[in-house]
Amino acid sequence: MPKARYTFELPEHDVDYGVEIPIKDLNIDPQAQRTLGEKRAQNIANNMVREAIGSIIVSKRPNGDLYIVDGQHRWRACALAGIPVIMAEIHHGLSQAQEAILFLIKNRESHKPRPIDEYHVGLTGGVPLFVDTDRILDKHGLTLGSTSTNGVGAVSGVLQIVDRYGSSVFDRTLTVAEESWERSAETWDGMLLGGIGMFLGRWGDLVDDKELARKIQAMGTAAKWRSEILSQSSRGGFNNSGTGSRVSTAYRLVASAWNRGRRAENRIEA
């Protein structure tokens, strides 16, 4: 399995730990944060154990303003509960982009943000994974977040293709999908893109994209492909019905389409 191509990096900078900050002095930058869930904050406030709040992560900008990097729900919960101060870990000298990267690093192993929030924050941070993904989507006139004729809803699946195989494979994946099934919501299904992306990521040097698109098209519409993937995946039982299994099934079907009419020695092993 290819290793991830993208990492999150920050410069060395000063950090102050265990600083008590008035709630009213803290700000939120929505471009470097996940969406604030008021209901979640209220639930925290309703069950608040003051001694267990812990420290939030804060960036002190050059003008002295304090912006929350991580912990906005605890901050909002304290405000709702009438608690005037909160403990913080203060980072100095970070740009807005670096604040966004710090947010992603802090949340990588904890309460992971929604993929679409991570994507938008990553764009703010200028993280290459997200910037490269956005560049290819824009090239194809697509947005990320919801499935439509001009939108891809499979955020995690798209990022996985770029992370594992690179932006050029993602570019080819979108081209092959559109040439196979034209432009529709079904074309941008995450399972289909995942299968094509995996196939091109593994065997792209041996594949002519236009020929692959013709062979995929010959095996039916995007809706028919999707139905067959779900059917084959479900036959494997509960443990084989997840997203990973469905993408693997799509990959095998793409490989089967490519191999049609080829001599045994010229086929690609699925």
Q: What is the pLDDT of residue 234?
A: 75
In CATH terms, 15-121 corresponds, of 3.40.50.12780, 3.90.1530.10, 3.20.20.80, 3.20.20.120, to 3.90.1530.10
Query: Is-contact 14 89, C-beta < 8 A?
Result: no
- 3-state secondary structure at position 221: coil
What mean pLDDT value characterizes the chain? 90
Q: What is the pLDDT of residue 243?
A: 61
**Alpha-carbon dihedral of residues 259, 169, 144, 71, nearest 10 degrees?**
120
Q: pLDDT tens digit string along 68-81?
A: 999 999 999 999 99
- 171 sits in the region (left: phi over 0; alpha: psi -120 to 50; else beta) called alpha
Q: What is the pLDDT of residue 240?
A: 44
Model confidence at 48: pLDDT above 90? no
Q: What is the pLDDT of residue 115?
A: 87
The two three-digit tokens of residue 165, written as one number: 């195989």
Residue (of 160, 189, 163, 156) closest to 174 by Cα position: 189
Instruction: Tell which wins on pLDDT, 49 or 138.
Output: 138
Q: State CA 147 to chain mean position distance.
A: 15
How far are the Cα atoms of 83, 111, 153, 215 from residue 104, in angstroms, in the given order? 27, 11, 21, 40
Sequence ranges of the domains in the chain = 15-121, 128-266
Q: What is the pLDDT of residue 241?
A: 45
How far are the Cα atoms of 101, 158, 160, 171, 194 from residue 129, in angstroms, in the given order? 12, 11, 10, 14, 17
How far are the Cα atoms of 18, 79, 83, 84 from residue 50, in angstroms, in the given order? 15, 12, 9, 11
Q: What is the pLDDT of residue 153?
A: 93
First CA to last CA across the chain, in angstroms? Answer: 15
Model confidence at 175: pLDDT above 50? yes
Q: What is the mean pLDDT of residues 102-128?
A: 83
Q: Where are the beta strands (DSSP E) in the chain?
A: 15-22, 26-27, 55-60, 66-70, 85-92, 143-144, 151-152
Using CA atoms, how far apart are residues 75 and 83, in angstroms rounded to an integer? 9
* φ and ψ of 269, to 5 deg: -70, 125
- Position 238 confidence tier, pLDDT thresholds 50, 70, 90: very low
Q: What is the pLDDT of residue 235?
A: 66
